[in-house]
């Protein structure tokens, strides 16, 4: 049985930063090859010895608002089809947007285990600002600083527990 975790969200929320961080851990343990490319979209990771595949979605160029919406829906649908768990990433710097609400609605309808993650929470100030995301009508979100890795432990503990 394979566990596949997809990271979805609008551009610039920090998906690839988290993806690379999850892969680096893994590579640090099992792959010492230098110069391994960082721009791939699938990678293997593990947490406390539990292995899983991570999918980084996005990587497209956003030209117009239409393409933006269409591409994001496509990526989210792909993640719903492919993944066993989904990380929905939000950006505390930008706050909750209409597109976030639309993505969340798609995820909610899918009934896939979804972890709502508010990224770029680098300090206590952002921790407070993150409460805005309760507007989604959720009981729980995780706060993360993908840049430093803070918060990833609690998130991964819960994700692998639910496999």
Q: Compute the distance between CA of residue 120 and CA of residue 105 in angstroms, rounded to an integer.
A: 23
Is 33 labeled as ligand-binding?
no
Cβ contact 36:27 at 8 Å: yes
119 part of the interface to Mg ion, by CB under 5 A: no
Instruction: Number of residues interacting with Mg ion: please give it, by CB under 5 A.
Output: 3
Cβ contact 99:72 at 8 Å: yes
21 part of the interface to ligand GDP, by CB under 6 A: no
Number of H helices, E strands in the chain: 5, 6
Window 27-66: residues binding Mg ion (CB under 5 A):
58
Shortest approach of Mg ion to residue 1 CB, angstroms?
Answer: 28
75 part of the interface to ligand GDP, by CB under 6 A: no
116 part of the interface to ligand GDP, by CB under 6 A: no
Cβ contact 84:116 at 8 Å: no
Which residues lie near ligand GDP (CB under 6 A)? 9, 11-17, 58, 119-120, 122, 145-147
């Amino acid at each position: 049985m394979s566990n596949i975790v997809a990271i979805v969200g609008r551009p610039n929320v920090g998906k690839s930063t988290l993806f690379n961080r999850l892969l680096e851990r893994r590579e640090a343990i099992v792959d010492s090859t230098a110069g391994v490319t960082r721009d791939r979209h699938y990678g293997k990771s593990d947490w406390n010895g539990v292995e899983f595949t991570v999918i980084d979605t996005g990587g497209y160029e956003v030209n117009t608002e239409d393409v933006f919406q269409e591409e994001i829906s496509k990526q989210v649908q792909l993640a719903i089809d492919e993944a066993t768990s989904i990380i929905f990433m939000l950006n505390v710097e930008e706050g909750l947007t209409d597109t976030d609400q639309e993505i969340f609605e798609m995820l909610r309808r899918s009934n896939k285990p979804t972890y709502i993650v508010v990224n770029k929470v680098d300090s206590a100030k952002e921790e407070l600002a993150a409460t805005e995301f309760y507007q989604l009508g959720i009981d729980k979100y995780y706060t993360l600083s993908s840049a430093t890795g803070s918060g990833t432990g609690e998130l991964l503990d819960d994700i692998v527990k639910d496999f």
